[in-house]
Structure 1
Amino acid sequence: MNGGLHGQVVDVLGREISAGEHPPGTVLRIDELEARFGISRSVAREVVRTLASIRLVIGRKRVGIVVRPREEWNTFDPALIRWLLLSDRTGQVRTLVELRTAVEPVAAGIAARRASDEDAAKLVGLAERMVATARSGDLESFLAADVEFHALVLSASGNEMFAQLRDVFAEVLRWRTGHGLMPPHPEPVAVRLHCEIAECVRAGDRDRAEGAMRELVAEALEGTLEQLAAVEARDGSAVEARDGSAE
């Protein structure tokens, strides 16, 4: 999270709360935040306001700033998604992919019926850009096109609630690339499915657009979990080797 000292403190507390270091009911006091982080009262209050906007905490008279139960958190907030991915990677990935599975195939199917000619052409263009960047191994450019592709599918559906999920889905796409969970060259099947979805939307083939998106999301889940397992196994081996050398 950006925002100088304020952003740094929000990030630390957000990560701690999402990881369970401050369980529900824990009281956070302004003077303690000032002392711990060396911040002014005004900055501490702004930090609390930011955490409250994500529904992680709530102010209570004569008590202080209280950590809320997890079921009350705004789990659609991109910052909270990032923090939860740090504390429970596998669980949060599954949660996000389950959400994508429930929404994106339906959005793709509706987009095949409602998308404007301009949006359909943009989808095809983005899919073609993904083909080119996948071949070159330019993961950053591939990611940018991927994020834009999925955001456009959501908005082209004409469903305003679907469209507002674009930042949620973008977060998991960025996180996957940023944490080394993408192969050096994106899987050919994933690239092909993006192209198929775009062409189906342009052709107005609702059933196939929905089916191809369902395949794509399932492929993303399987690939991400495989890469995650490999990373965790590698990290575990490194820890064992370090502990062994210390004996």
Structure 2
Amino acid sequence: MSVYPGRGVHGQVVEAIGRRIVHGQEAQGSTLDVDALEITYDVSKTVVREALKVLAAKGLVDARPRRGTFVRPRSEWSLLDPDLLRWQFEDPTGTRLLDDLYEVRIIVEPAGARLAATRRTEEDVERLAATLAAVEETSGAKEIIEADLAFHRQLLEASHNELLIRMEYIIETGLRARDLLVHAEGHQDDFLPPHQAVLDAVRASDTDGAERAMLNLLEQAAKDEQQIKNRGRE
């Protein structure tokens, strides 16, 4: 069984079975043989059953009398669960969720940028500027990922629309998993200019400019995601 840093045996079994299901190696509707899983992963039946409970909570599996434990249809999966997002983005053939995330962002974030340019306070602008300033001092992947998440969250907070702000917390779950792939090695040069353009337009209360800058930023994001897809085909 592969080793997943930071996870014990129980967590490793969750990772292994979860990946198989999400990557299509365990078909939807198929029955899982608990005894076979115990042998395959060289763990106790208790560990397998506890792992299956975790996967059931994520919507991946269910258990019924006389049928046993089976893989639930994708429509019932908790797609925004952080592990599911990570497993889906790790699948070199599974780019569907990247496309879905992009479509949601293109609907929500340009409109959010327009509102932010209209409603932002000086404090909002200062927070956005501080986030980008911190990136200038590092090229580390972890710092860039956290800055990206913070910037997009702060931008929609600057819209001062409570429902729109809640949307960003949903988007952020997918965005974090996506960023782990895109910014795996750090991309400060690519990261700063499009984000700075959004900030400049918001600071200037330029609604059209803020919307346009966010569209440009998302266009760059789409190019980054296309590189991920191309790597998956190699």
Q: Confirm or deny: 8 A CA contact 1:24 1:70 kept in the other structure.
A: yes
- The C-alpha deviation readout for 1:92-132, integer Å capped at 9, x for no partner, is 43332222222222232333344453333111111233344
Identity %: 32
- The more displaced of 152-161 and 211-220 is 152-161
Residue number among 34, 39, 51 corresponding to 1:30 in the alignment:
34
> What is the one-letter code of the residue matched to 1:85?
F
* Structure 1 residue matching 2:183: 3-state secondary structure: helix
* Structure 1 residue matching 2:107: 3-state secondary structure: helix
What's 1:84 paired with? 88
> What is the one-letter code of the residue matched to 2:208?
D
Unpaired runs of 5+ residues, structure 2, are none
Residue number among 147, 172, 194 corresponding to 1:145 in the alignment:
147
- The C-alpha deviation readout for 1:177-204, integer Å capped at 9, x for no partner, is 22x5x65x532xx522211222333444
What's 1:209 paired with? 210
Residue number among 95, 100, 104 corresponding to 1:99 in the alignment:
104
Change (3 A) 1:33 1:114: farther
Aligned-partner Cα distance in 2 for 1:53–1:131: 41
Q: Confirm or deny: 8 A CA contact 1:124 1:199 kept in the other structure.
A: no
TM-score, with structure 2 as normaliser = 0.81
Aligned-partner Cα distance in 1 for 2:78–2:174: 12
Aligned-partner Cα distance in 2 for 1:232–1:106: 32
- The more displaced of 166-175 and 109-118 is 109-118
Q: After TM superposition, list the pairs within 5 Å mapping 1:83-232 onto structure 2.
A: 83-87=87-91, 88-133=93-138, 137-157=139-159, 158-159=162-163, 160-178=166-184, 185-187=188-190, 190-226=191-227, 228-229=229-230, 231=231
Aligned-partner Cα distance in 2 for 1:117–1:48: 49
Aligned-partner Cα distance in 2 for 1:114–1:164: 22
> What is the one-letter code of the residue matched to 2:84?
L
The answer to whether structure 1 residue 48 and structure 2 residue 52 are counterparts is: yes
Aligned-partner Cα distance in 2 for 1:205–1:57: 49
Change (3 A) 1:110 1:48: farther
- The more displaced of 218-227 and 110-119 is 110-119
What's 1:242 paired with? none
Deviation at 1:15, TM superposition (A): 0.9
**Root-mean-square deviation (CA), in Å?**
2.6
